[in-house]
Amino acid sequence: MKIISILGVSGSIGTQAIDVLRTHKDKFQLGAISVGRNIEFLEELLYEFNPPLVSVMNEADYNRLKQKYPKIEFTYGDKGLIDVATYRSDLLLTAVMGSVGLVPTLKAIENGVDIALANKETLVAAGSLVMQKAKKHNVKIIPVDSEHSAIYQCLNGEHLSEVKNIIITASGGSFRDLTRDELTTVTLKDALNHPNWSMGQKITIDSATMMNKGLEVIEAKHLFALEVPQIKTLLHRESIIHSMVEFVDNSMMAQIGNSDMRTAIQYAFSYPKRYWKNNPLDFDTISTLNFKPMDFERFKMLKFAYDALEIGGTMPAIMNAANEFAVAEFLKGKIEFLEIEEIVESRMNQHKVVQDPDLDTILYYDALYKRAEVNE
């Protein structure tokens, strides 16, 4: 029985992970969990799974819940995330959104807990530090993003020295068929209407801007130890081929399946084994698969990510923090859609890069570039 702890259990990835646990109760046991403000959902989980350790965001919820459920250990705040991350589990699913997942992930690695990584920002902001620490503590980092999971599966048993390129596919998001001129009138409701995937608000907006794909490019650099020119992106509107690997002999491997995050989540949980799952791909319903080169002029945020990766140092963390700030402002209705990329570009241009930053430096700039006003 494998014990699975979850950071961010009430989010899109977290709730789908719970579905996986329900399907395979004979193989997985829920360990420690963290939740934000969705206490109603949390209490349903307490009744169903009786987890041993629970972290909540607010002290008031912590005080109320520990009185109501005296047999469960409760904790809260930033310390609570670390408590969950360092719980004696076999695997930690990091499914919180944003750079808040960085420190708990590092603490889990230091405690020898393998990571199922669904938090892009951890590797974007501090990929070198995370991968170095994972190597030092002999900890597995198993990607949960469908694209990285696909590459991980294609590379299983292969030699990285024989990899020519990896190709990360992108659906194109909510606005894949719109010109830049047409983007000036899109609304928040439009942006949240993803054509293929059911995801949380922030990642859905990132998909619409193509920043999500940019974050995945940076993640791939750290996960698979590749050079930047080896990481390609390709528009594939059906989201059936989740990513591909091209080898030096020009042969290619692709991982294909339905647009269902539970497949990648279950693979991370069961690795190196595979378990039965519903919802198989029906080839009788697939008429065509479409591919299109990525247009960096149309999808400027993807170009920003490649630029940040080439510059290195603190620049990827600054790009990520600026994007988190801008997306939050868009979700609040304070800015227009295209202003997201304007804010990210402006803040990247403003930043004086620090090469080889330590964790404190990364966290300092991460907090600084999430503010409304930035003064270095």
Q: Which of 113, 143, 173 is the last residue of a domain?
A: 143
Q: Any binding-site annotation on 120?
A: yes
Instruction: Indicate if the pLDDT at residue 199 is higher than 80.
Output: no
Indicate the DSSP class of residue 90.
S
Containing structural domain, residue 249: 158-258+297-311
Residues 6+ away with beta carbon under 8 Å from 252: 167, 244, 245, 246
Selected residue with higher pLDDT from 192 and 291 = 291
Answer yes or no: do 138 and 9 share one domain. yes
Share of the chain above pLDDT 90, in %: 80
Which residue from 223, 119, 206, 141 is spatially nearest to 170, judged by alpha carbons? 206
Answer yes or no: do 127 and 210 share one domain. no
Q: Decide if 173 contacts 210 (C-beta within 8 A).
A: yes
Answer yes or no: do 106 and 224 share one domain. no
Q: Decide if 72 contacts 50 (C-beta within 8 A).
A: yes
Average confidence (pLDDT) over 133-144 = 98
Q: Any binding-site annotation on 121?
A: yes
Counted domains in the chain: 2
> What is the radius of gyration, based on Cα positions, of the chain?
20
Helix (H, G, I), strand (E, B) or coil at 296: coil
Does 8 reside within a domain?
Answer: yes
Q: Pick the range with the lowest mean pLDDT from 98-112, 181-195, 208-222.
A: 181-195
Please give the C-alpha separations between residue 48 and each of 21, 42, 295, in angstroms, as whole numbers.
Answer: 11, 10, 47
Does 362 reside within a domain?
Answer: no
Q: pLDDT class for 98, splitting at 50, 70, 90?
A: confident
Answer yes or no: do 114 and 164 share one domain. no
Q: Any binding-site annotation on 236?
A: no
Q: Any binding-site annotation on 200?
A: yes
Which residue from 91, 334, 130 is spatially nearest to 221, judged by alpha carbons? 130
Q: Any binding-site annotation on 207?
A: yes
Does 190 reside within a domain?
Answer: yes
Answer yes or no: do 9 and 122 share one domain. yes
Does 90 reside within a domain?
Answer: yes
Alpha-helical segments (H) within 253-368: 261-270, 300-311, 315-331, 339-350, 359-368
Average confidence (pLDDT) over 264-293 = 88
Could you write out the DSSP letters of every residue in 267-288? HHHHTTS----S----GGG---
Q: Any binding-site annotation on 194?
A: yes
Indicate the DSSP class of residue 162.
G
Q: pLDDT class for 250, splitting at 50, 70, 90?
A: very high
Q: Any binding-site annotation on 216?
A: yes
Q: What pTM was computed for the model?
A: 0.91
Does 62 reside within a domain?
Answer: yes
Does 337 reside within a domain?
Answer: no
Answer yes or no: do 178 and 132 share one domain. no
Q: Any binding-site annotation on 147?
A: yes
Strands (E), 209-251: 231-235, 241-247
Does 302 reside within a domain?
Answer: yes
> What CATH number is attached to the domain comprising 127?
3.40.50.720
Q: Any binding-site annotation on 140?
A: no
Residues 6+ away with beta carbon under 8 Å from 251: none
Print the SS3 string covering 38-80: CHHHHHHHHHHHCCCEEEECCHHHHHHHHHHCCCCEEEEHHHH
Answer yes or no: do 126 and 224 share one domain. no
Instruction: Indicate if the pLDDT at residue 318 is higher than 60.
Output: yes
The backbone region for 318, taken as left when phi is positive above 0, alpha when psi lies in -120 to 50, beta otherwise, is alpha
Amino acid code (one letter) for 150: A
Q: Mean pLDDT of all residues in the chain?
A: 93
Q: Any binding-site annotation on 237?
A: no
Answer yes or no: do 188 and 302 share one domain. yes
Answer yes or no: do 138 and 167 share one domain. no
Indicate the DSSP class of residue 344.
H
> Which pair of structure tokens corresponds to residue 82?
């670390």
pLDDT of residue 196: 59
CA distance 58 to 130: 28
CA distance 264 to 261: 5
Helix (H, G, I), strand (E, B) or coil at 139: coil
Answer yes or no: do 71 and 202 share one domain. no
Q: Any binding-site annotation on 11?
A: yes
Which residue from 324, 337, 333 is spatially nearest to 371, judged by alpha carbons? 324
pLDDT of residue 11: 92
Answer yes or no: do 7 and 123 share one domain. yes
Q: Which of 86, 119, 143 is the last residue of a domain?
A: 143
pLDDT of residue 177: 85
Which residue from 339, 364, 337, 336 is spatially nearest to 351, judged by alpha carbons? 364
Answer yes or no: do 128 and 194 share one domain. no
Does 332 reside within a domain?
Answer: no
Q: Any binding-site annotation on 213?
A: yes
Instruction: Indicate if the pLDDT at residue 295 is higher than 70.
Output: yes
Q: Which of 118, 143, 168 is the last residue of a domain?
A: 143
Instruction: Indicate if the pLDDT at residue 198 is higher than 70.
Output: no
Using the Cα atoms of residue 193, residue 196, residue 202 and residue 207 in order, give the sign of their dihedral. negative
Instruction: Indicate if the pLDDT at residue 197 is higher than 60.
Output: no
